[in-house]
């Protein structure tokens, strides 16, 4: 099972918009996740956001680059940024995304 968590052990059901960039030489890249009105920010949530954890059968990918966006003083969205510094990290991320997309019924499109 591939899932994204903001607190270890609690899956985030909101599907993010994900944007990828990769260096020309393929040695580094960035994935930006945008979650609009994620459940972790809901009014009944008491969980602290400790990072963004992408968990699957291979283990977990972790980033601490998580920012909240507020509208009228209320939390509205989250943005998580994962920086990949090698082709191995990129390949591992893509394997996670393939599993996550398949389970969520998403499609990958190049722009």
The span from the CA of 77 to the CA of 75, in Å, is 6
Residue 24 is classified by DSSP as: T
Per-residue b/e over 14-34, b at no fewer than 16 CB within 10 Å?
A: eebebebeeeeeeebbebbbe
The span from the CA of 89 to the CA of 96, in Å, is 11
Which tens digits make up the pLDDT trace of 47-103? Answer: 889 999 999 999 999 999 999 999 998 889 999 999 999 999 999 999 999 999 999
Which tens digits make up the pLDDT trace of 32-50? Answer: 999 999 999 987 777 889 9
Give yes or no for a contact between 45 and 39, defined as CB atoms under 8 angstroms apart. Answer: yes
Reported pTM: 0.90
Catalogue all structural domains in the chain, each as residue range(s) with its CATH number. 3-104 (2.40.30.220)
The span from the CA of 99 to the CA of 105, in Å, is 10
Give φ, ψ of 77 to 5 degrees.
Answer: -150, 165
The span from the CA of 58 to the CA of 47, in Å, is 25
The span from the CA of 58 to the CA of 38, in Å, is 25
């Amino acid at each position: 099972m591939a899932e994204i968590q903001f607190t270890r052990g609690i899956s985030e059901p909101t599907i993010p918009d994900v944007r990828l960039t990769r260096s020309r030489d393929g040695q580094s890249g960035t994935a930006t996740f945008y979650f609009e009105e994620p459940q972790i920010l809901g009014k009944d949530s008491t969980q602290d956001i400790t990072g963004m954890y992408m968990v699957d059968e291979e283990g977990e990918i972790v980033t601490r680059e998580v920012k909240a966006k507020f509208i009228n003083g209320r939390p509205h969205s989250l943005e998580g940024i994962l920086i990949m510094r090698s082709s191995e990290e990129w390949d591992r991320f893509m394997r996670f995304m393939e599993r996550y997309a398949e389970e969520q019924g998403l499609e990958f499109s190049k722009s």
